[in-house]
């Protein structure tokens, strides 16, 4: 029960990695608040996990402020913030529409800024806390035809290190997890819509030196480590959990 009594907000917590993180945190004694733009999915997940759900578009400051205020009012503190909400799409700088670029950056990067901006004062007042951002192995090694996503995750990694320096004196640790490609509902939809689902899945499996996609529960363990006191000397760290996707020349588009 490594998070016994701790109050944890998980953005994008209704499915995929976020759901696995929320579930693992709850099993370790945390009081979990799932903040997700999909209110119905968030409610279902919260009911399954014995957690709370609050609808939140992390790109909208009013939504973020509501989540932080309601959590603080109900529980008196916020110990852990997991900035996990995000998405991606295909495209190069030549082909991406400017409005699509702006929307992705508003969620993937601005969302991390807004959630952290409003949680930091709460953590500082209580003597500290842990912020964990979801970046990506692609921020380190890149991948073809995902320019906006790679750029946003590069920004998240850099922001993680900057925040770690800015808030260490307030007792706030800021770290990030960099997952590889993870077998999740997001990718299930991509595979189901492909002309050759089996072939595309095999190509994604081949991205990792281990020869397979990761599982959400495997990634969640990294978040638990960074949320718990076991990582009390870690701040500004990027913990890569990608099955070896970033260590060779085997990457595929």
Q: Which residues are catalytic?
A: 149
Helices first, then strands: H and E counts in the chain: 10, 7
Instruction: Quote the tokens at residue 5.
Output: 């009594």
β-bridge pairing 7-11 and 80-83: parallel
Task: Compute the distance between CA of residue 66 and CA of residue 68 in angstroms, rounded to an integer.
Answer: 6
Residue with tokens 């495997």: 218
Q: Cα(54)–Cα(182) distance, rounded to whole angstroms?
A: 25
Among the listed residues 105, 117, 136, 161, the one whose alpha carbon sits nearest the alpha carbon of residue 222: 136
Token pair for residue 249?
């020349």
Nearest Cα to 243, choosing from 217, 219, 218, 208? 208
> What is the C-alpha separation between 82 and 179, in angstroms, rounded?
14
Question: Strand, coil or helix: what is 112?
Answer: helix
- Residue identified by tokens 């009594």 is 5
* Residues contacting 251, CB < 8 A, separation 6+: 141, 143, 207, 245
Radius of gyration of the chain (CA): 17
């Amino acid at each position: 029960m490594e998070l016994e009594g701790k109050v944890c907000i998980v953005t994008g917590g209704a499915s995929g990695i976020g759901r696995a993180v929320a579930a693992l945190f709850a099993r370790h004694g945390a009081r979990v608040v799932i903040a997700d733009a999909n209110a119905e999915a968030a409610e279902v997940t919260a009911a399954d996990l014995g957690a709370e759900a609050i609808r939140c578009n992390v790109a909208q400051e009013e939504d973020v402020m509501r989540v932080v205020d309601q959590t603080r009012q109900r529980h008196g503190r916020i110990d852990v913030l997991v900035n996990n909400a995000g998405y991606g799409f295909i495209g190069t700088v030549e082909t991406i529409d400017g409005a699509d670029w702006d929307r992705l950056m508003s969620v993937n990067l601005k969302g991390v800024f807004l959630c952290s901006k409003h949680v930091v004062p709460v953590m500082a007042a209580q003597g500290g806390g842990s912020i964990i951002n979801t970046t990506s192995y692609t921020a380190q090694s890149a991948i073809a035809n995902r320019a906006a996503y790679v750029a946003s995750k590069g920004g998240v990694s850099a922001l993680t290190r900057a925040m770690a320096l800015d808030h260490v004196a307030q007792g706030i640790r800021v770290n990030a997890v960099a997952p590889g490609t993870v077998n999740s509902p997001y990718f299930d939809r991509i595979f189901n819509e492909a002309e050759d689902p089996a072939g595309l899945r095999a190509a994604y499996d081949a991205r990792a030196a281990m020869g397979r996609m990761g599982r959400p529960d495997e990634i969640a363990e990294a978040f638990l480590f960074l949320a718990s006191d076991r990582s009390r000397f870690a701040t500004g760290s990027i913990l890569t959990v990608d099955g070896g996707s970033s260590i060779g020349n085997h990457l595929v588009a």
